[in-house]
Amino acid sequence: MKNIGVFFGSGSPEHDISIITAQLIIAGLKGLNYKVTPVYITKQGQWMIGEGLGNLKVFSDPNKKVEDHKNFGAFYLDMEKSVGKMVFKKKGLTGKTITIDLAFPALHGSFGEDGTIQGLFEMYGVPYVGCGVVASAISMDKALTKQIYEQQNIPTTKFLYFYKKGWEVDKGSVINKINQELNWSLFIKPVHLGSSIAIAKVKDKDLKDLEHRLEVAFHFDNKVIVEEAVENLMDVTCCVIGNDKPKASLLQESLFTADVLDFENKYLKGGGVQTGEAKESLVIPARLDEQTTKEIQDMAIKVYKVLECSGIARVDFLYDKKIKKFYTNEVNPLPGTIYHHLWEASGIKLDQLLQKLIQYAEERFEEKKEINYTFSSSVLSNSQSGKLGSKKLS
């Protein structure tokens, strides 16, 4: 039986959300009788492996940090044997070996959802669930995503983006550019983060507040995006699964009274909108007419294809209820808790969703095996015969 490694944690501000997502996936896979190995990456980058990491209590115990559980550590990746699989060995003469045949990343944000760990899986030739390296990297850069939207005539709000070094050199010119080129109110967002961390709305041309919010955003990222806000807002979400023939979910409408669907509303209040627990804050399907619903679902699929997503992704939309127009917002290449609640409302239960995601990963892996990644040449032999130039290479 194949062993599925569920990777989670890592040094990201969304570390704790990753743990919640992983526990859901681990429990779901075990319920389907899959062999599962939890692979936890601490905030400091230490890799820990063990059956017990599939228990949320290990992470919520106030008296003992997970890093203090020595039996989960002391593993190393066997580079020699990790070909088409990942082989972890426990240190010591009699240390056991754990082989992972398929990877299921449950990582959010930096160092996991942004193409980094996907690249590692690619290098070892391990099939993995979700978007590939390129789609993950692009989707996790909000500014780059919106640049592609503009090139592909995908409706989105007007925006500017800035780098931390430019901000530190001349804050005044950044603030002036924003004030002159964008219509207020504005949203400030770290480009590479999710879960609404460090996101803020700035109103009434309050330049002092704008400067403060930019400072906060740059504390979490080296690149920040500033967008025109959509008033009379309905926050709409559509999930997409599949590879070559993606399928859109029902639309979800998220209800909130603050200026932004913040971290508390997403994950804490009433159990959280993003987890599907805060039923009073969710409307599924969204209160939109049939034509608008279909247009948004079709646009979600278009975005999914344009960014070359695979497996699963979530596309967020901003709908102006007054002028009845939608704008494509962010793409999440690995949605928290894999948005199982929206898929269940769409007729796909968690066990079916997990099986489909594994199937999509295996299909994509088999397709890649048909591509020839090597090329034979006489470059090296010619280098010794002097045919590459007047001097022999040494």
Task: Give the integer Cα–Cα distance in Å for 291 and 168.
Answer: 47
Q: Each residue of 158-179: pLDDT tens digit?
A: 999 999 999 999 999 999 999 9
Same domain flag for 219 and 247: no
Backbone angles phi, psi at 86, to 5 degrees: -115, 120
Task: Give the integer Cα–Cα distance in Å for 162 and 168.
Answer: 11
Q: Which residues is 49 bridged to in the sheet?
A: 39
Same domain flag for 238 and 204: no
Same domain flag for 72 and 172: no
Number of domains in the chain: 3
Chain-centroid distance, C-alpha 119: 14
Task: Give the integer Cα–Cα distance in Å for 240 and 301.
Answer: 7
Same domain flag for 325 and 244: yes
Same domain flag for 261 and 356: yes
Q: Each residue of 60-92: pLDDT tens digit?
A: 888 888 888 878 877 889 999 999 999 999 887
Q: Each residue of 343-368: pLDDT tens digit?
A: 999 999 999 999 999 999 999 999 99
My answer on whether omega of the bond before 185 falls inside 30° of 0, hence cis, is yes
Residue 306, judged by CB atoms within 10 A of its CB (0-12, 13-18, 19+), counts as middle
State residue 101's pLDDT score: 97
Lowest mean pLDDT among 40-44, 110-114, 248-252: 110-114
* Strand spans (E) along the chain: 3-9, 35-41, 47-49, 75-77, 86-90, 97-100, 102-105, 159-163, 186-190, 200-202, 223-228, 233-242, 247-254, 282-283, 311-320, 325-332
Task: Give the integer Cα–Cα distance in Å for 120 and 181.
Answer: 41
- Assign residue 205 a region (left: φ > 0; alpha: ψ between -120 and 50; beta: otherwise): left
Task: Give the integer Cα–Cα distance in Å for 160 and 343.
Answer: 34
Mean pLDDT of the chain: 90
State residue 99's pLDDT score: 96
State residue 258's pLDDT score: 64
- Domain of 244 in residue numbering reads as 233-367
Q: Report pTM.
A: 0.90
Same domain flag for 97 and 77: yes
Assigned domain for 338 exists: yes
Q: pLDDT band for 385, please (50, 70, 90 cuts).
A: low
Can you count the helices (H) and strands (E) in the chain?
13, 16
Same domain flag for 237 and 363: yes
Same domain flag for 98 and 176: no
Assigned domain for 165 exists: yes
State residue 379's pLDDT score: 79
Q: Which residues is 238 bridged to in the sheet?
A: 251, 315
State residue 169's pLDDT score: 96
State residue 92's pLDDT score: 77
Q: Which residues is 161 bridged to in the sheet?
A: 225
Same domain flag for 71 and 113: yes
Same domain flag for 115 and 209: no
